[in-house]
Amino acid sequence: MTDTRYGAQTGAAHDPLMLYGEAFQSRLLLGTARYPSPATLQAAVQASQPAMLTVALRRQGAVGEGEGGQAFWQLLKSMQVPVLPNTAGCHSAQEAITTAMMAREVFETDWIKLELIGDDYTLQPDTLNMPAVAETLIREGFKVLPYCTEDLVLCRRLLDVGCQALMPWAAPIGTGKGAVNPYAMRVLRERLPDTPLIVDAGLGLPSHATQVLEWGYDAVLLNTAVAQAAYPIEMARAFALAVQAGRAAYLAGAMPERELAQASTPVVGMPFWHGEGSKA
């Protein structure tokens, strides 16, 4: 049987992330908030070479709103990494739509990470209203990447309204817990085999990123785990390597788990070594 996971490619290094028909050479997306300094952010980006940089219009300010916003936008441009604006902090449908429209003008891109928060304590997405907002933005020409939960029904609804990729969480934003519901996440991956799935929120360790890539998830988005590390640049590099390892392992095909031990070296057909004094 021919293994088709590689397609016409030769390995993970030639296995681009495909989103809305565009190819990205990295499977790591990186947030831009809460870094100790702009220089640290820039060095972390250089160390990890992410596919996209997420930026929240509310937190950074629009170009022209002062020297701070202008300087930050110039820094993003200088890094030459595609920008993914984010509707972070929006609690209503109209607020998210308005923010997305402003972000398209400010950052000059049709890409948008849709965040619609339904609970301030867990920062859980508003799963009831998100599909309608996503549908509106898609009609307006946006390439929508919705931040959602691992709920299969919600994810199917988002696909029904036109989303071509999804961003389910592993755990609540900023918790660093890793995948708190592995069963649901693996079911989601199995039931949506052709949909790009980017794990967004809750990853705290490089091993968390490796794990979800091993399950077949297509990419991860990180912010707090890198920005708030003791050494953000080194952590950014570690996550980049972890993502590569996880994707390579998925493409290679992991051995199945077994309940019983099985010798790696078979004994059938092997000659026996007779000790001194034994009779042949």
Of residues 130 and 66, more confidence is placed in: 130
Taking residues 137-163, report their average pLDDT. Answer: 97
d(CA 84, CA 17): 15
Residue 52 burial (10 A CB sphere; 0-12, 13-18, 19+): buried
Taking residues 7-31, report their average pLDDT. Answer: 80
Active site residues: 113
User: Could you tell me the pLDDT band of residue 115, with boundaries at 50, 70 and 90?
Assistant: very high
Buried residues in 27-47 as b, exposed as e (16+ CB within 10 A): bbbbbbbebeeeebbbbbbeb
d(CA 56, CA 88): 6
d(CA 245, CA 12): 9
Per DSSP bridges, beta strands 143-148 and 111-114 are parallel
Taking residues 79-97, report their average pLDDT. Answer: 94
pLDDT at 9: 41
pLDDT at 259: 84
Closest CA to 247 of 2, 16, 1: 16
Residue 185, H or E segment: helix 182-191
Sequence-distant (≥ 6) Cβ neighbours of residue 154 within 8 angstroms: 127, 130, 131, 148
> Residues 35-78: pLDDT tens digits?
999 999 999 999 999 999 999 876 555 443 344 567 888 898 89
Residue 141 CB neighbour total at 10 angstroms: 8
Computed over every residue of the chain, the mean pLDDT equals 88
What are the φ and ψ backbone dihedral angles of 69, each rounded to 5 degrees?
A: -65, -40
pLDDT at 10: 44
Determine the length of the chain.
280
Residue 242 burial (10 A CB sphere; 0-12, 13-18, 19+): buried
The letter for the amino acid at 190 is: E
